[in-house]
């Protein structure tokens, strides 16, 4: 199943694994055996798909390397509990246990996106990223696509034990055709980008081990300034916007006037979006600043959905007793959250952008919470933390889903990659390869479509899951003489 996630993108193999997981459930004769099956499948799935989780602990291996195997097993085992609970509930279903499994499993994935601040990384529905079926996210969202995927696996797994085997086989074939064929019909044509304003995305490629090295910070800063000042290719006009990645400047905002002056002079007449840290009244923030020549701070956004143990420590006082600070050790208990989503007003030519800093692009509900509909999504990130294999590509895949769900283009500036421009159908129109320094000049795609999911969010699917879950677990009525 994990081989359906990026960078493997083997959705047929993932479907085969899903059918195998459902068959394991069918062999579980008691609820506790079902728990064991669900937890084991979950540990294996998350253990492989989230193997990149060890990378942040290797940045300072001497201090935090010992935590890596515990972190990987801990997160895999913890997330697998959601699946174990779904398998346990399905084992109590009075009838149609396999379809009950699909519903409760989808409900568990839904819960995983919200409980304890949520961690929806690697949703089962993301196996469709390289296929046309991903377009269904614009209608039923990622959780609806996950439910359809699990129902497909449950139907296919029901074929061997069905008394009338034609019905599950026919149902799974029809559902697969609907996912792929219907997705192809939902896929809009490419837009004509003639006359659209250009933007420039910077990728300095500063490895995390070197990013804050005193002997190298100036080199990385000057590299980004040179990219900012570089002439446009082919004699085209200068870009209207230059985007630097997350935490691109090596100083706090209140000490950055000189650096921002250099940056905005190099970018003129373009505006600049830059990732920077700031402090206020003893609190630290992971921030995005919109600046113009002067330098003038036009707008500020503080990241509000923080990474547990990475950017802040839950129950920091308790962990401090054992001298455990995770990776959130820059300030006491790490960063503080900002007040919530805001829109950046970039003027009539570019429109308004919804800023997303790194991990925030993982959450469809955060994008849906925008105060008004933006013209495009703007993600700055530092994926150097995620290593050089699966993590950055999975992060990119989830950004593509946010674009599909909202019908909006997404600009993505990543420190080490993958920087990309994505249209409102989730197509990557241009990109910079992973671990390569450079910049990308690209036309900004216009908004594509107002999708059904962008209007409704997750509420309809929550109601569907509640109804189907109650139906699946409702006791069978007995008739007595």
Catalytic residue flag (residue 303): yes
Active-site residue identified among 211, 358, 360, 405: 358
Active-site residue identified among 303, 311, 360, 405: 303
Distance, in Å, from the CA atom of 413 to the CA atom of 201, rounded to the nearest integer, reads: 5
Q: What are phi and psi of 49, to 5 degrees?
A: -70, -30
Active-site residue identified among 55, 246, 360, 405: 246
Catalytic residue flag (residue 358): yes
Torsion angle defined by CA atoms of residues 440, 445, 450 and 452, in that order, rounded to the nearest 10 degrees = -40
Catalytic residue flag (residue 246): yes
Question: Would strands 410-414 and 376-381 be described as parallel, antiparallel, or unpaired?
Answer: parallel
Q: What is the 3-state secondary structure (H, E, C) of the chain?
A: CHHHCCCCCCHHHHHHHHHHHHHHHHCCCCHHHHHHHHHHHHHHHHHHHCHHHHHHHHCCHHHHHHHHHHHHHHHHHHHHHHHHHHHHHHHCCCCCHHHHHHHHHHHHHHHHCCHHHCCCCCCHHHHHCCCHHHHHHHHHHHHHHHHHHHHHHHHHHHCCCCCCCHHHHHHHHHHHHHHHHHHHHHCCCCCCCCCCCEEEEEECCCCHHHHCCCCCHHHHHHHHHHHHHCCCHHHCCCCCEEECCCCCCCCEHHHCHHHHHHHHHHHCCCEEEEEEEEEECCEEEEEEEEEECCCEEEEEEECCCCCECCCECCCHHHHHCCCCCCCCCCCCCECCCCCCCCCEECCCCCCEEEEEEHHHHHCHHHHHCCCCCCCEEEEEECHHHHCCCHHHHHHHHHHHHHHHHHCCCEEEEECCCCCEEECCCCCEEEECCCCCCEEEEEECCCCCCCCHHHHHCCHHHHHHHHHHHHHHHCCCCCCCC
> What residues does 334 pair with on adjacent strands?
312
- Name the residue among 443, 436, 386 with its Cα closest to residue 223: 436
Give me the active site residues, please: 246, 303, 358
């Amino acid at each position: 199943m994990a081989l359906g996630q990026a960078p493997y993108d083997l959705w047929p193999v993932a479907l085969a694994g899903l059918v195998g997981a459902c068959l394991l459930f069918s062999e579980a004769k008691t609820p506790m055996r079902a728990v064991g099956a669900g937890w084991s499948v979950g540990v294996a799935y998350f253990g492989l798909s989230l193997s990149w989780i060890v990378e942040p602990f290797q940045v300072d291996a001497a201090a935090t390397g010992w935590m890596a195997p515990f972190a990987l097993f801990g997160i895999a085992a913890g997330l697998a509990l959601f699946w174990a609970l779904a398998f346990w509930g399905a084992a109590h279903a009075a009838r149609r246990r396999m379809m009950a499994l699909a519903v409760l499993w989808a409900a568990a994935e839904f819960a995983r996106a919200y409980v304890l601040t949520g961690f929806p990384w690697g949703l089962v529905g993301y196996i469709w990223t390289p296929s046309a079926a991903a377009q269904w996210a614009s209608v039923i969202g990622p959780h609806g696509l996950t439910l359809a995927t699990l129902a497909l696996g449950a139907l296919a797994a029901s074929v061997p034990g069905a008394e009338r085997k034609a019905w599950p086989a026919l149902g799974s074939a029809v559902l697969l055709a609907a996912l792929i064929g219907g997705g192809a019909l939902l896929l809009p044509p490419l837009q004509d980008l003639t006359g659209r304003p250009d933007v420039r995305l910077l990728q300095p490629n500063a490895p995390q081990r070197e990013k804050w090295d005193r002997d190298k910070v100036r080199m990385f800063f000057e590299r980004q300034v040179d990219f900012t000042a570089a002439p446009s290719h082919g004699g085209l006009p200068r870009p209207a916007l230059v985007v630097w990645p997350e935490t691109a400047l090596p100083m706090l905002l209140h000490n950055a006037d000189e650096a921002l002056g250099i940056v905005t002079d190099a970018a003129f007449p373009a505006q600049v979006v830059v990732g920077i840290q700031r402090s206020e009244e003893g609190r630290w923030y992971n921030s995005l600043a919109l600046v113009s020549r002067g330098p003038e701070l036009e707008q500020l956004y503080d990241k509000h959905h923080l990474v547990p143990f990475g950017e802040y420590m839950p129950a920091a006082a308790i962990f401090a007793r054992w001298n455990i600070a995770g990776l959130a050790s820059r300030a006491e208990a790490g960063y503080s959250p900002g007040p919530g989503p805001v829109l950046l007003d970039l003027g009539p030519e570019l429109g308004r952008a919804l800023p997303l800093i790194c991990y925030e692009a993982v959450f469809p509900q955060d994008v849906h919470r925008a105060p008004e509909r933006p013209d495009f999504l703007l993600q700055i990130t530092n994926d150097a933390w995620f290593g050089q294999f699966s993590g950055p590509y999975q992060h990119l895949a989830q950004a593509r889903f946010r674009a599909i769900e909202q019908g909006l283009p997404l600009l993505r500036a990543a420190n080490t990659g993958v920087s990309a421009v994505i249209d409102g159908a989730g197509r990557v129109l241009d990109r910079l390869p992973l671990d390569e320094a450079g910049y990308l000049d690209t036309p900004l795609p216009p908004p594509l479509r107002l999708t059904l999911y962008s209007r409704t969010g997750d509420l309809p699917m929550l109601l569907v899951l509640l109804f189907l879950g109650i139906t699946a677990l409702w006791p069978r009525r007995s008739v007595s003489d």
